Amino acid sequence: MTPELRGLLVAQWERTRDLQRRTGRIIPWVFHRKRPPIGEFKRAHAAALSALVETTNAYRFYFGVYVRSVGRLTPVYMATIDPFRRLIVYPSLLRSVRTTWDHTFGTA
């Protein structure tokens, strides 16, 4: 991570924590807008995060999804869509990342 990116993330994280303290609300993302959300999803709050880290010989891609329960049905809902996420969504997403990488930087 470059020093500039780290500085940007730390500054935005501090702004988010300050906003949480002032409003008494949990803000589950670092980058947010002051206006209402464009859309709302009532079954769960989720955030997808990705990072590309340079190692000695290559790059390592990290991908994670955090889901916060918003009701009694969230665990049931997540269990129901789990096969779809694992078999269709994530492989498709990773293929897209690989295709973009190969197109931009060439194949390994």
**pLDDT score, position 30:** 63
Classify residue 31 by its DSSP letter.
S
The pTM score is: 0.49
Q: Which residues pair with 61 in a beta bridge?
A: 52
Higher pLDDT, 85 or 27: 85
pLDDT band at 87 (very low <50, low <70, confident <90, very high): very high
Question: Could you give the C-alpha distances from 66 to 28, 46, 47, 50, in angstroms and in order?
Answer: 9, 6, 5, 11
Q: What is the pLDDT of residues 13-57, one digit of tens each?
A: 888 888 888 988 877 766 655 655 545 545 567 777 888 888 888
Query: What is the spatial distance between Cα 58 and Cα 69, in angstroms, rounded to a whole number?
Result: 36
**Phi and psi angles of residue 86, each rounded to the nearest 5 degrees, phi first:** -75, -35
Element (H, E) at 15: helix 3-23
**pLDDT score, position 108:** 59
